[in-house]
Structure 1
Amino acid sequence: MDRQTLKSKFKQACDLLRNEIASVNYIIQLSWMLFLKLYDDLEDERELKSKLKGETYQRNIPSPYRWKDWVHKDWRSEELINFINNELFPFLSKLDGDGEKELIATIFSGKEIQNFLRDGYKLREVALLLDELEFRTREDIYIISTLYEELLPEIGEMGKYAGEYYTPRPIIRLMVKIVNPKLGEKILDPFLGSAGFLIESYNHILRNKEVFTTKETKILYNMFYGQEKKDVPYLIGIMNLLLHNLPTSHIYKVDTFAEDVRKIQEKDRVDVILTNPPFGGKFDKRFKVNFPVKSSKTELMALQYVMRKIKRGGRVGIVVPEGVLSNTTGPFVRVRKELLENYNVHTIISLPKGVFIASGKTPVKTDLLFFDKTGPTEEIWYYEHKHPLGMVKTRYGKWVEKQYTKTDPIKDEYLLDCYEKWKNRGISENSWIVKIDEIDKETYELTPRNPNKFKKKEYRPSTEILEDVLREEREVMKLLEELRGVLR
């Protein structure tokens, strides 16, 4: 199937679902259907390889529940809906076994994972379109995975996922480049979401090493770990990993905060953590006992978690709302004190409002925080990123800093300056260094404050200002004369 046809089939399926299903629940519907199609193709491939070896392959999803069995059967509308709701989902949710069977059961036992279509004919129409998608070549997989990822920002706009933001891929790629995961390291995203950090870490390793031995390939596919507690992000993360040909054997549906961080041993820690935890989400009060500093703020608990989960010599890149760096109440101060005294905070990148957007939410001011477990902080390199258009004039005539929006998102090229300056810890109008002895020892505040903003302003020459005033006065007098003529 050529590239254009592949795109067309996928988009037709999406459009049909959008027309039939309210809100962005169509992404949930698309995800579980695409998962079953992709998994059926995967089992077909395994079955063929087993036959060539003279062996028998035992399918994890047997007839009549496998994708091809029910998609190509001639159903009446109500029969198909009854099969999906009362036979297929119950069977899949109760699959008994380890590994992939357990993963499938976990996905389909989620309360939010359901069939939203009530018209069996529409469901079959969508299923037949998806069935035509081919995953035979690397290009096929790339096209479908790219199209699927283009839908994911809509998840961040779902009101019921308030506090959870889709992380723009340019931000993820910048963070991955700075943290620089390597072959053989254990990489964790404890708040998995759409699995973007693991996928981009995988791509980063592939870019830096073209050829892998059999042993290295085995190591590569055993490096990636993820944790996610919610049904929908878990399904989407699994689906996205499968589309990018990444293993899902270390992706767990758990509440990260349920782990007692005070009892984590060195053998259970990881080399790299890259994550964007939920901001202002609901925190189960039962888990407060698992943390040395108690708080109801998920972002502060998330920071404590990654601090305890990273091993000696390990590296962290985490998205935080600016309050984590600026809040001067007790819990925030204590966590920052420990962070600076026991970890090397080497980089903080300030982002403008609007990079992360959720439905009905005021754009959140966020920062990218990078540290490693190699000793106490000595100095921090700061970078202030602004929209490349800088200051813009509103329709009311007020000059304001340009913000990113849904229709004007952040792009990779906008972050090139940041990365190039980071490599040499360069000093400029939008980058500076703060020494540890410059940080307030009472608040340990780390808010990015660009010192260049406080330099003496350069004013226009007085003769130029006077000329402008006189010109405007002449225009006003001219208008007054015209008005006087009209009134006469």
Structure 2
Amino acid sequence: MLQNNAQLKSLIDKLWQNFWEGGIANPLTAIEQITYLIFMKRLDDLEAKRERDAEFTGEKYSSRFKGKFQIPGSNESIDKNELRWSVFKHKPADEMLMHVQMKVFPFLKEFSKSSNPENSDSDNFTRHMANAVFIMPKASLLVSAINIVEEIFREIEKDATEGGHAFQDIQGDVYEMLLSEIATAGKNGQFRTPRHIIKLMAELVAPQLGQRIADPACGTGGFLLGAYQYILTDLVRKKDPAKLSKDEDGFERAAISAMLTQKVKTILDQSFVGYDIDTTMVRLGLMNMMMHGIDEPKIDYKDTLSKSYNEDSQFDIIMANPPFTGNIDKGDINEGLKLPTTKTELLFVERIFNMLKMGGTAAVIVPSGVIQNSGKAFEALRKLIIEKAELKAVIAVPSGVFKPYAGVSTAILIFTKGGETNHVWFYDMQADGYTLDDKRNKIAESDLPDIVQRYKNRLNQDFQDDGMNKINANKKSGKSSNSENPDSDRRQKYFMVPKKEIVENNYDLNLSTYKEEVYEEVAYEKPDVIFRRLESIEADIQKGLAELKEFV
């Protein structure tokens, strides 16, 4: 949706530029401050709508802006109505800056708890906001930022009215675009997962309404939202498929807000759980979920590799892109993690395995070392997900997918805890719909829809042991296996490999270990033909030199 609105893109770029010029150059700091402003604006708009609806229906409604607010650290209290965006935006610049810093922002930090004091999840939001700081170097920056946010919301309203898109969906897209500007490459091995890769992984694990979904290193909550949006789109698919359309990445999408009935919303509010060890990311994740319609998200500050974590066998679906680099102190490692290593990229996959219920499925991005390194711990992890789970797929991802943040080579692993691995499906992704350089411009070539289709169809093929033995025999004899099964032709981008062969290769999951390379035969001319051609060329050169000498 947002991709087609040039005005919204321009306004978001303008907002970033204003913060940069205003002295806030750190993208993570800027996005946090922008988020607070958007949150203030959205809170006021939602309250105004609820007040109008209550007035129209005659129902009683107690506004969040009713009554007095005790300003922390002082004996002063203020009418909550003075804390509304629609009120304070009209104040003079310097007065407005002090008002927002000293009164509005403290209210924002506590509003969730005060509006629902009995709910522990509301208290969770307030707890994580406790150390949040409103940073605005000068009044002029606040004024310009408020004006741009106002323009953004007017454009969202216009797009919703004229384009027929749901306000909630467009607002979510706007926030996703803001988050995409975070460039924290190399920070503890973390970087933002591209949205289309998240959508791909959601399609592969297909989360359903009522399932519990988690991410043990959730960052801004991108994977949780990917699952959330897939579930709502799937509800539209089942109820009214005519309302589906293809998005810019070739995935089906619908106006998900239309499916947010109170019953569905109640279920979804209990469905998503995320953890992160970065307090800023936790706050951004909480507000990101709330921007998309989940009022009381369960995102918490916690190191899921440490001894303090104890939520094993709790989840139906896990989608994650955990930190790739770093080590954890051996004394801090959770007792449930048995791998002989302190490497986080290995421990996180074991953690994900442990978090799954029996029959639960995970989609996890891992660096290439995890799938091919010969070290003892690496092999032990691969053995775990092959012997104690059904390893369904290994999708090799081009190194450029995570640019400009990083050029690391990765793979997506799909496995179901407690299942039995018989064959593993490999896919060699070569194009993800964007250029694989730092610019990441949109292109037509994309393997993503093909991956989804072929992954879902892979089980329609007959992979009985007799058939596989015949295929392997043909492979050794140099015959093509394509006649037995197209998914077993290892010259293709996708193919099946039997568990036995993987075990014999020390559980190596590197696609190139099993892929059959095709070399084109090059026909060279006979030596005497080549010599005659060279002699002819030499004669032409001598003739040319002779002609040039006549002019000297």
Q: What residue in structure 2 maps to residue 222 of structure 1?
A: 270
Q: What residue in structure 2 maps to residue 394 of structure 1?
A: none
User: What displacement does 1:480 show?
Assistant: 7.0
Query: Are positions 1:197 and 2:223 aligned together?
Result: yes
* Equivalent residue runs for 1:42-61 within 5 Å: 42-48=46-52, 52-59=58-65
CA distance in 2, matches of 1:287, 1:333: 23
Contact 1:50 / 1:56 at 8 angstroms: preserved in 2? Answer: no
User: What displacement does 1:142 show?
Assistant: 2.9
Contact 1:227 / 1:252 at 8 angstroms: preserved in 2? Answer: yes
Query: Are positions 1:319 and 2:381 aligned together?
Result: no
Aligned CA distance change for structure 1 residues 471 and 141 (closer, same or farther; 3 Å): farther
Q: Secondary structure at the match of 1:337?
A: helix
For 1:88-146, what per-residue CA distance to the aligned partner results, in whole angstroms no more than 9, with x for missing partners?
Answer: 55565567654335414513514xx541x312122122113313515765533333332
Aligned CA distance change for structure 1 residues 193 and 486 (closer, same or farther; 3 Å): farther
Contact 1:92 / 1:105 at 8 angstroms: preserved in 2? Answer: no
Q: Secondary structure at the match of 2:452?
A: helix
For 1:455-488, what per-residue CA distance to the aligned partner results, in whole angstroms no more than 9, with x for missing partners?
Answer: 5x23122339987887677557755765687687
Matching residue within 243, 266, 274 for 2:291: 243
CA distance in 1, matches of 2:297, 2:141: 34
Aligned CA distance change for structure 1 residues 465 and 105 (closer, same or farther; 3 Å): farther
For 1:163-189, what per-residue CA distance to the aligned partner results, in whole angstroms no more than 9, with x for missing partners?
Answer: 212111221111111101111111112
Q: What residue in structure 2 maps to residue 34 of structure 1?
A: 38
For 1:428-472, what per-residue CA distance to the aligned partner results, in whole angstroms no more than 9, with x for missing partners?
Answer: 5111212111124583222222644445x2312233998788767
Matching residue within 16, 19, 32 for 1:17: 19
Aligned CA distance change for structure 1 residues 460 and 7 (closer, same or farther; 3 Å): closer
Q: What residue in structure 2 maps to residue 460 of structure 1?
A: 522
CA distance in 1, matches of 2:538, 2:307: 71
Aligned CA distance change for structure 1 residues 229 and 468 (closer, same or farther; 3 Å): farther
17-26 or 270-279: bigger deviation: 17-26
CA distance in 2, matches of 1:68, 1:466: 88
How many residues of Structure 1 are paired with residues of Structure 2 in the alignment? 463
Code of the residue aligned with 1:100 in structure 2: it is: S
Q: What residue in structure 2 maps to residue 372 of structure 1?
A: 416
Aligned CA distance change for structure 1 residues 297 and 470 (closer, same or farther; 3 Å): farther
Q: Secondary structure at the match of 2:128?
A: helix
CA distance in 2, matches of 1:466, 1:241: 73
Query: Are positions 1:177 and 2:215 aligned together?
Result: no
Contact 1:349 / 1:385 at 8 angstroms: preserved in 2? Answer: yes
Of structures 1 and 2, the larger Rg is shown by 2
Q: What residue in structure 2 maps to residue 274 of structure 1?
A: 319
Aligned CA distance change for structure 1 residues 409 and 223 (closer, same or farther; 3 Å): same
For 1:296-340, what per-residue CA distance to the aligned partner results, in whole angstroms no more than 9, with x for missing partners?
Answer: 322111101110000011111011111111122222222222221
164-173 or 100-109: bigger deviation: 100-109
Q: What residue in structure 1 maps to residue 181 of structure 2?
A: 154
159-168 or 173-182: bigger deviation: 159-168
* Equivalent residue runs for 1:260-339 within 5 Å: 264=311, 266=313, 269-281=314-326, 283=328, 286-290=331-335, 291-339=337-385
User: What displacement does 1:355 show?
Assistant: 0.6
Contact 1:384 / 1:450 at 8 angstroms: preserved in 2? Answer: no
For 1:322-372, what per-residue CA distance to the aligned partner results, in whole angstroms no more than 9, with x for missing partners?
Answer: 11111222222222222211111010000111111354x4x1000000000
Contact 2:401 / 2:432 at 8 angstroms: preserved in 1? Answer: no
Stretches of structure 1 lacking an aligned partner (at least 5 in a row)? 391-401
User: What displacement does 1:404 show?
Assistant: 4.6
Aligned CA distance change for structure 1 residues 388 and 26 (closer, same or farther; 3 Å): closer
CA distance in 1, matches of 2:86, 2:396: 50
Aligned CA distance change for structure 1 residues 260 and 435 (closer, same or farther; 3 Å): farther
Contact 2:89 / 2:96 at 8 angstroms: preserved in 1? Answer: no
CA distance in 1, matches of 2:184, 2:201: 25
Query: Are positions 1:253 and 2:295 aligned together?
Result: no
Q: Secondary structure at the match of 1:306?
A: helix
Matching residue within 315, 334, 348 for 2:394: 348
User: What displacement does 1:147 show?
Assistant: 3.1
CA distance in 2, matches of 1:367, 1:314: 20
Contact 2:341 / 2:347 at 8 angstroms: preserved in 1? Answer: yes
Contact 1:164 / 1:277 at 8 angstroms: preserved in 2? Answer: yes
CA distance in 1, matches of 2:510, 2:221: 28
Q: What residue in structure 2 maps to residue 393 of structure 1?
A: none
Q: Secondary structure at the match of 1:349?
A: strand
CA distance in 1, matches of 2:18, 2:432: 38
Percent of matched pairs sharing the same residue: 27
Query: Are positions 1:406 and 2:401 aligned together?
Result: no
Q: Secondary structure at the match of 1:257?
A: coil
Q: Secondary structure at the match of 2:358?
A: strand
User: What displacement does 1:195 show?
Assistant: 2.1
TM-score, length basis structure 1: 0.82
Query: Are positions 1:100 and 2:122 aligned together?
Result: yes
Stretches of structure 2 lacking an aligned partner (at least 5 in a row)? 70-79, 240-258, 459-486
402-411 or 160-169: bigger deviation: 402-411
Q: What residue in structure 2 maps to residue 395 of structure 1?
A: none
Query: Are positions 1:131 and 2:176 aligned together?
Result: no
Contact 2:214 / 2:318 at 8 angstroms: preserved in 1? Answer: yes
CA distance in 1, matches of 2:221, 2:342: 25
User: What displacement does 1:289 show?
Assistant: 3.9
Code of the residue aligned with 1:288 in structure 2: it is: I
Contact 2:223 / 2:319 at 8 angstroms: preserved in 1? Answer: yes
User: What displacement does 1:42 show?
Assistant: 2.9
Matching residue within 189, 206, 230 for 1:163: 189
Q: What residue in structure 2 maps to residue 444 of structure 1?
A: 507
171-180 or 32-41: bigger deviation: 32-41
Q: Secondary structure at the match of 1:371?
A: strand
Matching residue within 457, 464, 470 for 1:424: 457
Contact 2:404 / 2:437 at 8 angstroms: preserved in 1? Answer: no
CA distance in 2, matches of 1:48, 1:465: 90
CA distance in 2, matches of 1:443, 1:72: 68
